[in-house]
Structure formats: C-alpha cells, structure tokens
Structure 1
C-alpha cells in the first residue's frame, strides 16, 4: 500500500478528532469570556482553578491513553470478543483514578495556599474545583468511550457528542453564571456546574449508544454479567499508562512553568507570552489529531502482524504532521500582526508578542514531530524511555535553559534573547531534541519489531 493511501486513511480519521479537540478548547474559551463579564475576582478564581484541574485531568486521562493501543491491537488482530473485557477493566481503572483525582481536588485549599492569593479568591477557586471534582468520574468514563471508538477508527460519534456538549455550554453557562429561571448568579463556579452537568450527560449518552447500537455487539460489552477488577489487566494498563500520564504531566508543567517564570518580568511580557501560548495551543490540536489517528492505524497493523505496513503508516503520519505544521507556521508568521491585534489593541502587549511569533514556526515543526512520534511509539506499547526523554529535555533543556537565557544568569545572553524570548528559544530547542530522540528510538523499536515479530510485542 502506497504512502499516499496511508496519508488518506490518516486524514479521514484525523479530521473528526481535530473537530472534537477544538470543541473542548472552545468550552474553555466560552468559560473565560463569560466569566470575565461577571467579575474580575471570578475570572481570577477560574484561571487559578483551571490550572489545577487541567494538571489533574491531563495526567489521569493520560493513564487511560493506554487503552487506545491495547484495543487497537486487539481490533487489528480480529479479536473483537476480548475488547469488551479490556474496556470494562478500563472503566474500573477510570473509577480508581477518579477517586484519586477527586481527593486532590477536594483538598485543593492546600494547593491554592501556595499561590498566596486573597481569601476571597481561594474560596471561589476552591468551590470551583470541588464542583469540578463531581465531573471527573464522568469525564474519565467518557475518555474510555473515546479511546474505544478511536482505537476502532470510529471517532465521528465522539465528535458528535462533543459538539452537542459545546452547544449546551453557552445557554447553561449564561443561566448558571448570571442567574435566571429562579436560580441565583453563581459566577465562576456556575461554569463548573455547567461543565459537570454536561459531562454526565455526555457520558450517559455515550454508553447508551454502546449498549444499543449493533456495531458494538461483537465486543461483548453488555449482557455478559458483572466483571470484577482484574489486577493482572489493570497492572498491564498501568505499566503503559503511568509513563504516558507522566509524559503528559511533564509537557503541561514545562509549558505552565514558563508562564510562572516569565511573570517575574512583569505584566506586559507575560501577556505577550500568553497570547503566543494560546495560538500555539490551538495550532497543536492539528498534529495531536494526526498523531492519534496515526497511532490507531499503526496499532491495528501491529495487531494484524503487518509490521511493514505499521512502519509505513507511522512515517506517513509523521511526515504529514510535520509538513502541515510547517506550512501553518509560515502562514502564522506572515499574519502575526493581525493575529495578535485580534487578541489585544494594546501596543505594548503587541510589541511583546510579535518577536515570540518567530518561534511559532519552529515550535510547531518540532512539536508535531515529537507528538506524532510519541504516539506511534505508544502504538507499539512503548512509553517508559520516551517519558525519560521528555523529563530530561523539557525540564532540563527547556525550563533550565530558558531560565539561564531569560534571566541572563551567566551574563552572556544577547539582549534579544533575554526575557520571554529566551524561554521560547529554549523550549523550542528542547522539543527539537525530544523529536530527534524519539525518532531515533522509534527506529530501534521498529527494527526489533521486524526482527522478532509478535513474540516481542504481544497484544
């Protein structure tokens, strides 16, 4: 099968994933815009609460990411009857992770105390996080559903549910943030209530579809009786999932800590950084979707013992992701002034953000390389060494190098690379190193897989 055909398969699977990811981002944008119209205190509480909730959710959902290659390999091998048991154990794992996550969110005042914020701000943020804790079990259970559908190359239903959730977000937010129909104005915590209601509704609809639609019947998910937790299967999922969750956590913290350090430089530099980071996050959704689609098709090929096809699909996805990201990066560079002014008319903030957009093109190219390669490695059920690479490069080179350059610790940093530019340069370089390291390791894994076949990579 030619690379062009593989690229077409990846694109058909990636676009619904991209739409779904953008829907999730849009939820956060809606929260920010609507709460900002309520009060500055509620907006600050939302920002503080979201930073903690996202760190918890990303780490826990990363652990559940182990389900996707596991189910994908079973699906590719035609062992459909075994998928149901893996999914049920995935739901048990989601329940266990929810308990841990809810405890962290319930005791959020201990974490919020490090922010040294005002008591009113801490109180609002605590209420927001405790309401979001109620959403966590439903959100993680929906991630299991999403992993199942993505692994079977059927992401359109997941996208449809996410879009319906987005449509509900605006009216529910308006009602619960500002009050109405006899309900008081909850402010910032109101959007957490809306998120919780929508999360449970999405989860219920998702699993009702699994119970009712004929496409899921061969999986033996329903009608097979109660299944107890299998510690053997859970340990297997955790051995893959914990490193993936840690890699997600490292990526998130490497990015969020940049903002913490840059904030020391003042409000204008951090505002310029925030605009650049927001644009970068939106652009990241494209390679992330391609990476997930590529991983699914590689896992299915591995399950079918089609090792050469798995290798070709992996490289086709990496090339597609990098090429598209480079083209988009060039477009963003030439339209950077218009993009920044869409965020703010403040000339000082525009001036702070403009030089940072130079790094967007390089950043996106390296980011697309590393995320797609990492997802391909996960299709081979390989995650420990990649996580070590993430930790050493993103924390060591990215944050450490950014600190040295940004604050001119050694006294040799050119003026143009001091401040936020130094952090962005170091972060871009660290992502380039991650991409190169993961690509080299992927070649090792592929050679090993081709040499020993199924005995080394059992489902």
Structure 2
C-alpha cells in the first residue's frame, strides 16, 4: 500500500498510474481483438449463426451488467480495506463477494435454462435464428457462474492493486478460446465439426479455466492471505452492502443499453447506409475506450485505497492527474481518428457513400474524445469514492434525454443525418463531463457513510 500511495513527485505518481493502467489497457485490447476473431470464425458458418450470437450477446449484456456491478462493489470495498491495511476485513469481503457471484451466477443460469427462448423472443428474432440462438444461449449462459466469477475475481485482484494477473489470465484464456473455437467449430482430426455448438463449448471451457486460474492467484495474494472456512458462510449484512453499492453501477450499464436501443431506432429511420456507417464508426471508436477504461481502472483502485488510508488530499491529486492525463491521451486518439478514420473504414466496407459518412462521424468524434476521456475517468473516480449513484443518474439524463432527443432533432428533424447523430453523442458526453466535474468539485464523489464506524467491520 505504502509503495502505491506515498509518492509525491509527478514522475512517481505517473509511474504508479501506468503500473495499474497499462495492464488494464492491454487486457481490453486483447479482448477486443479476440472478439473480432471470434465473430470472424462464426461468420464462416453463415449469417444465421452470426445473428444468433449477436442476439445472445445482447441478452448477455444484461447479465454482464449484473456481474460487473458485483465486481465494482468488491473493488471498492477491497481497495478501501487494503488502504486501511485491514487484511481481515479484506479477506471477508473477498469471500463474501465470491459467494454472491456464485449465487447470482446460479440464479441467472436457472433463468437461462427455463426462459432462454422467451428472452431471445423479446428481441424479435426470426424462427431460424431463434432456434440456433436458443442452443448457443443455453450453452454459454446456463453456466453463468463462470462468467460471474471471472468478473468478481478479476475485480478483487484489481482492488488489491494487482491489474497484471487479470491481464495475463485474460490473454491466455482468450488465446485458448481462439484455438478451441477453431477446433470445435470446424473440427480437427478425431474431433468432429460442431459449428455453433462448438463455439459455445469453447467459450465455456475458456471461462472455466479462467475462473480457476483467477481463484488460484487470489488465494495466493499476500494482502488477503489464506481463506478461512468460517467466512464461506453467507453473511447477509455484508452482501447487502455489496448489492447497495454495486446496484447503481449495474443500473448505469442498463441505462446505457436501453438508451442505445432508443436512439438506434431513430438511426435506423435514416436509412441502411447511415445505420451501417454509424455501426462501423462505433466499432472503430471502441478501440479508443481501451485507454480511457485502463485509466479508469487505475482511478477506482487508487482513489479507493487512498480514501481507505485516510489520505483524501492525495486521492484528489490522483483523481485530478488521471482526469487530465485521460483528456490528453484521448485528445491524441482524436487526432488519429480525424485524419485516418475514413481510411480505417475501408477495412469494413468499400461502399463510397458509407465511407463518406464514416469519415464525417469520426471527424466529429475526434473532438468528442477528450470529453469522453474525462467522463470515463471521473466515473472511475466516483466508483473509487463509493458514490455509484451519481454517474447512473447523470448517464440516464445524458443518453435518454440529450443523446436520444438530439439524434431525433438534429439527425431527423433538421435532416443532418450522420453528422446530427454524432453531434448529439458529443452533447451527451459534454453534459456528463461537466456534470461529473461539477459534482466532483462539490466533493460529492465520496460516499462518506460507506465506511463509518457502524459499517467498517465486515462482521
């Protein structure tokens, strides 16, 4: 702990930040690249299979939001107790978080077992897609316990300040997933080609191995020490606190997803070319998120540990430095998008009109990048401070009112097309950045009751 937070010079602080952020960036990069490869293999099976995976992933995003919220809560508490050098409560929170991950994974697994087809029907899937999607969905989501454990175990390790182990495990299991994908989808020697079923099996095996590896490394972590049998008994008071802190984080993700559905409906009305251009531009932009989320991971961990150690002023220093750093780095990303976005689009399509619209979108997005950098890191700062509600409320207003309303007004009513869409996205992010900064300056990023005397002990 001391090596992380008792650094005074700018160079030392940057060293601490990069030590935490770079592994998270690398992990995000590999996950994004391997996601593309995964879809590439499945695309060889046909459009029905690609669509089946697409609608399954849309439902899984809700599952991910729930598991991520548990991870956020675990990260917050673990970082605080690490900062306070309270190894006993650190261990208790870790074990109770794992129990909660198992319970939530089992519940969602049972929901998938009995209602998989009904959930996919909500998305309006065609019958042939529905048949394939149901099979794939059941394979990957009935064992949801391995997904929940991946999220929570990684978050616990990050809370201790270890971002390298989740990165290493993520890289290895994703590379394993690619190999298993190829073998199970297309067949290899005595292994028959299993198609979409094989893709699902590969994903589950990789996640299972990942969960086992993360648990092994966590059990060896010095700051947690050995787990105690008595702490594997569910403690409802601790789990209640984890749910209260984590729920707004899940809410924010769900708010984003619902908002995307709302404004995507308006984008579709603008025509196939505009929708395709918007989708491709979004797929290109996603690479810029990797840097921001890496810095946000560092922000959540550092702020949580510093507040746990009672070093509020140092936490503010790191929060400000991380925000400025994110704005600066993502400004450079914006320059790249401005001058090469159109060229990058040629890897996705050769349609001249679509390419023109992609170029317009990414030129506008170039000016959004520094604003987005502030939004992502400040959200991480608020999470480190235990205040997960404010980002959720601000996100709801931003995406439901400003972005969705802006897309309709600018894109459809004023007939600005793709330019109107991305200006609306920029206005949404600007609103969120200003709102989060205002709340931060008013010291509303720290939830002061999170670690009062009554709650400090993880009984």
Q: Distance in 2 between matches of 1:55 and 1:259?
A: 18
Matches of 2:54 and 2:257 in 1, distance apart?
A: 15
Cα deviation code 1:186-210 (max 9, x no counterpart): 3234222111010001111221233
Q: Distance in 1 between matches of 2:444 and 2:316?
A: 7
Q: 1:318, CA displacement in angstroms?
A: 0.6
Alignment of 1:29-108 (within 5 A): 29-106=36-113, 107-108=115-116
For 1:221 and 1:371, locate their aligned partners in 2 and report how far apart those are by CA, in whole Å: 34
Deviations 1:150-205 (A, max 9, x none): 11111111111111112212221111212234444332342221110100011112
Partner of 1:375: 380
Q: 1:458 to 1:51 in 2, by over 3 A?
A: same
Q: Aligned in 2, Cα 1:447/1:210: closer, same or farther, shift over 3 Å? A: closer
Kept after mapping to 2: 8 A contact 1:60/1:101? no
Matches within 5 A, 1:47-446: 47-106=54-113, 107-211=115-219, 213=220, 215-216=221-222, 219-225=224-230, 227-408=232-413, 413=414, 415=415, 417=416, 419-445=417-443
Query: What are structure 1's unaligned runs of at least 5 residues?
Result: none
Partners of 2:147 and 2:207 within 8 A in 1: yes
Aligned length: 448
Output the CA distance in 2 between the equivalents of 1:142 and 1:115. Answer: 27
1:47 CA drift (Å): 1.6
By how many angstroms is 1:241 displaced? 0.2
Q: RMSD in angstroms over aligned alpha carbons? A: 2.3
| In 1, Cα distance between equivalents of 2:259 and 2:302 | 29
Q: CA deviation at 1:56?
A: 2.2
Shift of 1:296: 0.7
User: Which range moved further: 57-66 or 45-54?
Assistant: 57-66
* More deviation, 51-60/250-259: 250-259
Cα distance 1:283–1:453, how it changes in 2: closer, same or farther (>3 A)?
A: closer
CA offset digits 1:411-441 (Å, max 9, x no partner): xx1x4x2x33322221221111111111111
Counterparts in 2 of 1:268 and 1:440: CA distance versus 1, 3 Å: same
How does the TM-score come out when normalised to structure 1?
Answer: 0.91
How far apart are the structure 2 equivalents of 1:149 and 1:453? 21
**Using the alignment, how far apart are the partners of 2:283 and 2:445 within structure 1?**
38
Preserved contact between residue 267 and residue 407 of structure 2 (Cα < 8 Å) = no
State the distance in 2 between where 1:221 and 1:401 align: 53
> Matched residue of 1:65: which SS?
helix
Q: Within 1, Cα distance between the matches of 2:359 and 2:81?
A: 48
Q: CA deviation at 1:379?
A: 1.1
Q: Which runs of 5+ in 2 are unaligned?
A: 1-7
1:282-315 superposed Cα distances (whole Å, 9 cap, x missing partner): 1111101101111211111111111110110111
Structure 1 position 97, deviation (Å): 1.9
Q: Secondary structure at the match of 2:232?
A: coil
TM-score by length of 2: 0.91
Q: Give me the whole-angstrom Cα distance separating, in 2, the residues matched to 1:46 and 1:310.
A: 42
Q: CA deviation at 1:38?
A: 1.7
Q: In 2 relative to 1, CA 127–193 (structure 1 residues): closer, same or farther, beyond 3 Å?
A: same
The range that moved more, 174-183 or 386-395, is 174-183
Q: Which moved more, 1:102-111 or 1:295-304?
A: 102-111
C-alpha distance in 2, partners of 1:438/1:317? 14
Could you tell me whether the CA contact under 8 Å between 1:449 and 1:456 is conserved in 2? no
Q: Aligned-pair distance for 1:354? A: 1.4
Deviation of 1:42 after TM superposition, in Å, equals 0.9
